[in-house]
Amino acid sequence: MMTLYTFGPAFGLPDMSPFVTKTELLLKMAGCDYRCQTGGYAKAPKGKMPYLQTEDGVIDDSTLIRFHLEQSHQINFDAALSPAERGIAWAFEKMLEEHLYYISLRDRWAIDANFNKGPRNIFKRIPALIRGFVIWKVRRKMNTKLRIQGIALHKEADIIQLAKKDLDALADFLADKTYLMGDTLCAADATVYAFMRSALCPLFDSATHEYALSKPNLIAYCDRISKKFYPES
């Protein structure tokens, strides 16, 4: 049985990381036999989650896990798509993973009220004597990452405009389709679902969240997939 190393459910989400949720949904879509294991961050090969322990070794990236499932388990998530449609689906995945993700990360880690409601609670298991220092160190590292990526260098109004552009593009393309590319799930749906669940999380107050709530088709899309794969949530 494969083992998926995760952070675990948090903030009312299947996992605090959309990349973990994406990966678990891919495993569910593929009908794979797997189990989730928390507490593996210290041994994460690249210092990030998720990673998947398989008979062939460790796969240490959500997209590389997808490739592994396709190559080693003969799964074609995009079998129903044309080459052009596969390109469109891939582009939406990367828009969310490489752009909107950093806006969401900034909303959670750089806005004090959101940090105190969410990420701060991750550190509760750390001894009180050093907890404050660890929080300061990790948060500083996260904010440095956001500056290097570039999103934290923008003005608030510009960040909001960028987030709205992503959500408009996704909602307009989804329109009234059941899934991103039509009536059949594809690999990109795992990413879209994970990142929209994150954007719609009611725990965090942000312009991104408020704007996502103004898109009824994105809400309905998440509800459909939740009922199918996460009926308990």
Cα–Cα distance measured from residue 12 to residue 6, given in angstroms and rounded to the nearest whole number: 15
The CATH number given to whatever domain includes residue 32 is 3.40.30.10
Task: Tell whether 119 and 63 lie within a shared domain.
Answer: no
Q: Read off the pTM.
A: 0.95
Task: Tell whether 19 and 61 lie within a shared domain.
Answer: yes
Is 77 inside a domain boundary? no
Please tell me the predicted confidence (pLDDT) of residue 112: 96
Please tell me the predicted confidence (pLDDT) of residue 56: 85
Q: What is the pLDDT of residues 97-139, one digit of tens each?
A: 999 999 999 999 999 999 999 999 999 989 999 999 999 999 9
Task: Tell whether 110 and 181 lie within a shared domain.
Answer: yes
Domain that holds residue 29: 2-72
Q: What is the pLDDT of residues 46-81, one digit of tens each?
A: 999 999 999 889 999 999 999 999 998 899 999 999
- Rounded to 5 degrees, φ, ψ at 165 are -65, -45
- End of a domain among 50, 72, 94? 72
Task: Tell whether 136 and 177 lie within a shared domain.
Answer: yes
Q: What secondary structure does DSSP assign to 123-141, as a single string?
A: GGGS-HHHHHHHHHHHHHH
Please tell me the predicted confidence (pLDDT) of residue 73: 87
DSSP element (H, E) containing 227: helix 216-229
Task: Tell whether 204 and 95 lie within a shared domain.
Answer: yes
Task: Tell whether 105 and 57 lie within a shared domain.
Answer: no
